[in-house]
Amino acid sequence: MKELIDLILKNIHPYCYNAELSGALRRSVEADIIEIVAAPKVEKNSTGVFLKFEEQFTENNQLLTKCKQAKGFISFDERRIVLKYGETECKIWLCKADDYGRIQAIKTGSWEFLKYKLAIGWNRKGWCSTIDGMFKKKDCQKRGNKWHLKLGIFPELPPPFPTEQSFFKWLDVAYIHPSLRNWDMKSTDNSMLVYKYFYGYPEYFEDYIMGKYSDEDTVKDFNKKSSTTMSKELFKLIASNYKKEEFETTEEELVIIDSPDLSEIM
């Protein structure tokens, strides 16, 4: 598969400002699908009028033209090009050059890392992710579980994110290598379990570490208030990984991270 990835990247690079491997393979996890994030070289909008996301990649896009000519071309749906060679599918996610870092972080995953580490960061800053990009919540409206840019306005735009590092810095999150983003909330021996079980319940750790409750009492209280159950042994395992500063959040933020808003950008 590496040879195919290298070949695809070699052929699309001349038509992109940036293009790199993404998804599970970037996290060093085996996968059947190749995912690539690419910022195609397209002509800037000369009128200065803000364009919706899907309007930016349909014209003057040499990358799209070349991919449509490729033998493996399957489809294009405004922000994703799909190629297939043999049994291997390749998805090329399109983005603007100044939004490359954000999209690369989102598409790299994992889902748990995005939800529990990155999304909380932009929500705290008063921003939301929409199908058209990231905007201030004041410039958007929520319909159902999704944020949408309000019509007829010139929205406040975020700073450019040409790299993942620039996006992480804006979120006030330390940059983490992709191979360390494989947060698996189903694993019982993964230290990231603290985010699944205790993100909204820092008081349990406080009480436990300060010796206010016994193991049995603390676990019983947690099981009563949460939607999950756990054993005393598992509690002690993840309590050993506890870091207080990672759990300082508000009730409003807990609602945000538990919502399905992120599904539209994955």
The residues of the chain scoring below 70 in pLDDT are: 43-60, 184-219, 221-266
pLDDT at 123: 83
Residue 73 contacts residue 64 (beta carbons within 8 Å): no
pLDDT at 44: 56
Percent of the chain with pLDDT over 90: 33
Domain boundaries, the chain: 1-95, 201-248
The topology under which CATH files domain 1-95 is: Beta Polymerase; domain 2 (3.30.460)
pLDDT at 216: 67
Question: Quick one: which of 180, 184, 167, 191 has its CA closest to 241?
Answer: 191
pLDDT per position as a tens digit, 157-177: 999 999 999 999 998 888 888
Structure tokens belonging to residue 17: 């400002």
Residue 83 contacts residue 74 (beta carbons within 8 Å): yes
Q: Quote the pTM value.
A: 0.70
Could you give the C-alpha distances from 171 to 99, 108, 227, 261, in angstroms and in order?
14, 16, 29, 18
